[in-house]
Amino acid sequence: MIDSQKTLESRANVIALVFILIALTILASITYKLPAATDVIYPNYMKGFPSPVLKTTSLGEHKGFLLVGDVIRLGIWIAMGIMILLAAPSLTTLINYYLFAKIHSKVQQKGTEISAQVAQLSSRLSSVLIIALVWPLTAKAVNTLLFIDAEGKFDWVMLLLTLAFVAATFVLLYLTYSSAQPVLQAVSKGKK
């Protein structure tokens, strides 16, 4: 049976997390207005250069540097990613309660116990959601750290990062599908 107190705590945690993520997203979107402090750190900074993330040296090569807003935004994205990763148990509990409550009651009436398979399926669904939420945050952080947007050229790091997340998503979807089979079989047996 699903513990109602644990479900209520998980729901409160997820609701609080959503509000915190919304506030952090708004904060991250306005950090570009923070002072760049480029005059203090880089007195020879070229004011007319189209991209504020690039500095031109005497040899004409571009060197990237993080502005104050970029550093704050990077910290916000990392904090958001950590918060989402830590929310996995709460998400699993909510998925187990809201998606599979009827399955628990139907199967328990017939005397079949599949709570371990349902818990595993809930965990896999939670992992898919976590990957889907962490993926864009990771891409933004890597873009900022490697100055990929500033360079304006193709970068293999982002391609490899995207392929890694796509591969992880497909593996988790396959594991979710394989975890769903015993649950669907038990439910179909329970209906007979």
Average pLDDT over the chain reads: 76
- 71 or 18, greater pLDDT: 18
Output the six-digit token pair for 154: 């193709």
Taking the alpha carbons at both ends of the chain, their separation in whole angstroms is: 23
Q: Report the percentage of the chain scoring pLDDT > 90.
A: 28
pLDDT in tens, 94-149: 888 888 777 766 655 555 567 777 888 888 889 999 999 999 888 888 887 776 55
Mean pLDDT, range 169-182, rounded to an integer: 89
- 97 or 153, greater pLDDT: 97
Query: Residue written as tokens 């490899």?
Result: 160
Query: Residue written as tokens 């919304």?
Result: 22
Residue among 69, 93, 91, 81 nearest 20 (CA)? 81
pLDDT value of residue 113: 64
Give dist(CA 65, CA 77) in Å, integer. 18
Confidence grade of residue 59 (pLDDT, cut at 50, 70, 90): very low
Rg of the chain taking only CA atoms, in angstroms:
23
H helices, E strands: number in the chain: 7, 2
User: Which stretch of DSSP H or E encloses residue 12?
Assistant: helix 4-30
| pTM, to two decimals | 0.70
Q: Is the dihedral of CA 180, 181, 186, 190 positive or negative?
A: positive
Confidence grade of residue 79 (pLDDT, cut at 50, 70, 90): very high
Residue among 147, 125, 159, 175 nearest 66 (CA)? 147
- Are 74 and 145 within 8 A, CB to CB? yes
* Vertex 40: Cα angle to 36 and 43 (nearest 5): 105
Mean pLDDT, range 66-72, rounded to an integer: 76
